[in-house]
Amino acid sequence: MNIKKLILPLAAMILLSGCSGCQGTEEPVNTPETTPVAVVTPEPADTSETWPEELGDPQVYADLYKQIKESEEINPDVVGWIYFPSGLVSQPVLHGTDNAFYLRHDWKTGQPLEWGSIYMDFRNNISNNDMNTILYGNYVYKSYSSDRTLVFTPLAQLREEVNYEPNKYVTLITDTEIRLYELAHVFDCPTVYISAGQVPAEGFEFNELTFTDEKLVSLINNIKGIEFYHTGVEIEPGDRLLMMQTCVEFHTEVRQINVCKEIGRYPIPQE
């Protein structure tokens, strides 16, 4: 496969996240907005009345829902919360008018902040049941900060298979529900450079909001060829996805992508 070819039109560029390090900051990957394709958006997963053990303590979600509402008072761009039941990541999710602002700004103050905030692709709409929801967050270099919990820095642990089982479930909590996902693939997405920045290499266009069946099957097959380990979780046409992207220390030519499959939606517990 020739990964040097560009595979997306360059009409409208979308910013993806970079990272922060002692040697300066890595520029974000640029990926173009694609022309909408004729696909059928899958219906939301059925909401179950049975609380699954994968979610853990229901009280945690009641508390996080309160944090979401309190955070919305601070900044109305807060649209949810990304939470691993393992505790790997627990952060608010922002949604701006572009993919640039929250890359380098504090969601609480609006002031510049080197490692920025976790945010959803501006093309996504958390209420639209998008086929592919994309989240971005910086990775902070070890030499830049000893705090290994900042933004998406903890996702580096998922590169090791030994850390998969304890961290394979992740939730996106919204104003109305809990979306439960299972981690399916972890890989470094190769990129190519253009004048405006970086774009995914041919065959690895993970950052599209919708996929035809053929395009999704091709993407997943390509990912399987370079993923760090096999999880046994299969993604098929009709599945709804969550992609979490961050950068890789000392490797500006790639981005770490964590591909998750939605496996259920649940009501927010009442206190």
Q: Is 263 helix (H, G, I), strand (E, B) or coil?
A: strand
| pLDDT above 80 (res 46) | no
| Contact predicate 75/107, CB 8 Å | yes
Q: Which CATH number fits domain 13-31+44-266: 3.60.70.12, 3.40.50.2300, 2.40.260.10, 3.30.420.40?
A: 2.40.260.10
For residue 75, give both structure tokens: 């900044």
Reported for 10-13, long-range contacts at CB under 8 A and 24+ positions apart, including other chains, are 10/194, 10/196, 13/196, 13/197
- Render pLDDT for 185-214 as a digit per residue (tens, 0 to 9): 999 999 999 888 899 999 999 999 999 999
DSSP 147: -
Place of tokens 């993919």: 99
| Contact predicate 135/82, CB 8 Å | yes
Distance in angstroms (rounded) separating the CA atoms of residues 216 and 132: 11
Q: What does the pLDDT read at residue 202?
A: 96
Beta-strand relationship, 30-32 and 197-200? unpaired
For residue 236, give both structure tokens: 């098929």
Per-residue pLDDT band for 19 (boundaries 50, 70, 90) equals low
Predicted TM-score (pTM) of the model is 0.86
- Render pLDDT for 148-190 as a digit per residue (tens, 0 to 9): 999 999 999 999 999 999 999 999 999 999 999 999 999 999 9
Q: What is the DSSP string of 78-128?
A: EEEEEE-TTSS-EEEEE--SSSSGGGSB-TTT--B-TT---EE-TT--TTT
CA distances from 172 to 15, 101, 183, 197, 232 (A): 22, 21, 13, 29, 22
Mean pLDDT of the chain: 87
Which residues, including other chains, have CB under 8 Å from residue 9's CB and lie 6 or more apart? Answer: 32, 34, 35
Name the residue with higher pLDDT: 10 or 114: 114
Which residues, including other chains, have CB under 8 Å from residue 76's CB and lie 6 or more apart? Answer: none
DSSP 63: H
Q: What does the pLDDT read at residue 195?
A: 87
Distance in angstroms (rounded) separating the CA atoms of residues 197 and 32: 11
- Render pLDDT for 69-105 as a digit per residue (tens, 0 to 9): 999 999 999 999 999 999 999 999 999 999 999 999 9
- Render pLDDT for 221-233 as a digit per residue (tens, 0 to 9): 999 999 999 999 9
Amino acid identity, position 225: G
